[in-house]
Chain A
Amino acid sequence: MSPGEIKRVIIIGAGQAGGETAQRLRQGGFAGDITLIGEEPAPPYQRPPLSKGYLKGDLDMDRLLLRPASVYAEENITLLTSLRAVWIDRANKRVRVEGGRELPYDALVLATGAKPRKLPLVGADLAGVHLFRTAADVDALKPHFVRDAKLVVVGAGYIGLEAAAVARQLGLHVTVIETAVRPLARVTSPEVAGFFLDEHTRQGVQFVLGGQPAVIKGRERVTGVALVDGMEIPADIVIAGIGVTPDVALAEQCGLTVENGIVTDALCQTSDPAIFAIGDCAARPMAHFDGRMARLESVHNAMEGAKIVAAALTGAKPHTVEAPWFWSDQYDLKLQIAGLFQGYDNVVLRGVMADRSFAAFYYKGPKLIAVDAVNRPAEYLGAKMLIQTGRTIPPGELEDETRPMKELVAAAR
């Protein structure tokens, strides 16, 4: 179907990817019907601050909203909140929502996101055990997030460590339990993980690495976490930060190709040409990584999916894809990440970790594939540009700090 024939777009999922798609369709001149369906009560909002400024109390919900609630009506976007889509009828191009109403579409965008994994343990449903995905999750947690409360975080990924950092800043006692032998095992190198482990330890976080939680203790409210080795850690609050699973229920129900997420091509089109999938729920080939399929859980990926789909549906110039980028704020450390580090065979440091300002560059053979930059924005942006344009700085040159990053980037081939 050509862009001109598309009159009705339904977007399922009103997170950042879904919300941006609706906005960008209108900004791109799409004049047809746009219906945005979300399970949460709030209009689309930014999730990254949930484990940072929002948890800490520096930002309120109004500031998280992508756009004020009134904008949707002004732009003639039908925003249906607190509503679940339950069925997709591809043959007749209809979406059924809770209550039975059926909505017709010409193009459908799945931006269903991901669901946080529940702890697979007895006691996981006790009061005081929290998942971490939505503003409501954090709202439920916040009243208990007070000085001297005992917090156990299960899972030392970015969300878990960001929550731990906020907790220490607010004066909670924090223990992080991680089944792997180091934190951030899935997302960064042992070198950078070691830096964050040291930093959190210095800030007073206790770590149980290689720890296997066995049961969440408590009668009505949680009182502690017992490990398989018999150790027990007292807790007033437990946060499960053990990752997410893509929400592919609707895609599976209607028979789209699903592997790790809804499979799409580089234009975010699923195995049904009338259906697109974007954001955390979808996997697409990565332009800067030999077309390797990846499902990214990030703001960059959500925004990029929205830009790609809006361009396709309005017949605009295709979006130029960016190298993937991410960030994490912990204490006064700003970690900025570009590229995908998986498969690296060499890591080169620029700067020294003890200065709390350094960048780790990841190489696969001669090729620069990723950077983790801590309080080093120039290294981050420089590496991002290089990855995007397929250029590389010889590893030996990076260690020479007398040459500014900008100069190295300009000389890169």
Chain B
Amino acid sequence: MPKITYIEASGKEHVVEAPIGQTVMEAAVKHAVPGIDADCGGACACATCHVYVDPEWLSKTGEQNSMEQSMLDFANDVEDNSRLSCQIKVSAELDGLVVRLPKSQH
């Protein structure tokens, strides 16, 4: 299974095995990675699964879709590499992906 590293705002790292086909959000939530709230469970309704994709992975994670872009417009501390992790599907290509988490999702 692809491994994904989540780095909390404090610097604490969590390495999680993520099943292909699930989302980067789901893998975090199921392993109780703190810092990803994902209140809506991946329905793109809450904007509480915001992550920063490590720049070298941006080409592989793809781009923000339009709904995601609009949601991120209202999130805090948004950067060019911001994504909603519920919109990134895990694939074999993403083995080794590193994402950083914002200080707060609200």
Q: Enumerate chain A interface residues (CB-CB to B < 8 A).
A: 23, 27, 46, 48-49, 63, 65-68, 71, 75, 299-300, 303, 320, 322, 325, 327, 329, 334, 336, 375-378, 381-382, 385, 405-406, 409
One of A23, A49, A75, A320 near B41 (C-beta < 8 A): A49
One of A27, A48, A71, A320 near B43 (C-beta < 8 A): A48
**A327 and B73 contact, CB distance less than 8 A:** no
One of A67, A299, A405, A409 near B40 (C-beta < 8 A): A299
**A67 and B44 contact, CB distance less than 8 A:** no
**A378 and B34 contact, CB distance less than 8 A:** no
One of B26, B29, B70 near A377 (C-beta < 8 A): B70
One of A48, A67, A375 near B29 (C-beta < 8 A): A67
Give chain B interface residues in 63-90, CB to chain A under 8 Å: 67, 70-71, 73-74
> Bound state CA distance, A23 and B43, in angstroms?
21
**A334 and B67 contact, CB distance less than 8 A:** yes
1/0 per residue, CB under 8 A from A, across B19-56: the answer is 00010001001101010000111011111000000000
In whole Å, how far is A70's beta carbon from the nearest beta carbon of chain B?
Answer: 10
One of B32, B46, B74 near A385 (C-beta < 8 A): B74
B41: chain A residues at CB < 8 Å are 46, 48-49, 299
A405: chain B residues at CB < 8 Å are 73
Known: A327-B43, A334-B45, A377-B67. 8 other contacts (CB 8 A): A48-B41, A299-B39, A299-B40, A299-B41, A334-B44, A378-B73, A381-B71, A409-B74
Name the residue of chain B whose CB is nearest to the CB of A26.
B32
Name the residue of chain A whose CB is nearest to the CB of B75.
A381
In whole Å, how far is B70's beta carbon from the nearest beta carbon of chain A?
Answer: 4
**B34 and A27 contact, CB distance less than 8 A:** yes
Name the residue of chain B whose CB is nearest to the CB of A385.
B74
Q: Nearest 9 CB-CB pairs, A to B?
A: A381-B74, A377-B70, A327-B45, A378-B70, A46-B41, A377-B71, A303-B39, A377-B67, A406-B73
Q: Enumerate chain B interface residues (CB-CB to A < 8 A).
A: 22, 26, 29-30, 32, 34, 39-41, 43-47, 67, 70-71, 73-74, 106
In whole Å, how far is A264's beta carbon from the nearest beta carbon of chain B?
Answer: 21
**B47 and A67 contact, CB distance less than 8 A:** no
A67 touching B70 in the complex, CB below 8 Å, given contacts A48-B43, A300-B39: no
> Bound state CA distance, A48 and B42, in angstroms?
11
**B32 and A27 contact, CB distance less than 8 A:** yes
In whole Å, how far is B63's beta carbon from the nearest beta carbon of chain A?
Answer: 16
A23: chain B residues at CB < 8 Å are 32
A67: chain B residues at CB < 8 Å are 29-30, 32
Most B CB contacts (10 A, CB to CB) among A63, A66, A71, A376 go to A63
> Bound state CA distance, A212 and B88, in angstroms?
46
A378 touching B74 in the complex, CB below 8 Å, given contacts A63-B22, A299-B39, A303-B39: yes
A334: chain B residues at CB < 8 Å are 43-45, 67
**A377 and B44 contact, CB distance less than 8 A:** yes
A376: chain B residues at CB < 8 Å are 70
In whole Å, how far is A391's beta carbon from the nearest beta carbon of chain B?
Answer: 14
Name the residue of chain B whose CB is nearest to the CB of A376.
B70
B29: chain A residues at CB < 8 Å are 66-67
B43: chain A residues at CB < 8 Å are 48, 327, 329, 334
> Bound state CA distance, A303 and B30, in angstroms?
16
In whole Å, how far is A396's beta carbon from the nearest beta carbon of chain B?
Answer: 22
In whole Å, how far is A21's beta carbon from the nearest beta carbon of chain B?
Answer: 14
**A381 and B70 contact, CB distance less than 8 A:** yes
Name the residue of chain A whose CB is nearest to the CB of B43.
A327
One of A66, A336, A382, A409 near B45 (C-beta < 8 A): A336
B74: chain A residues at CB < 8 Å are 378, 381-382, 385, 406, 409
Name the residue of chain B whose CB is nearest to the CB of A299.
B40
B22: chain A residues at CB < 8 Å are 63
B46: chain A residues at CB < 8 Å are 325
> Bound state CA distance, A299 and B46, in angstroms?
11
Name the residue of chain A whose CB is nearest to the CB of B21.
A63
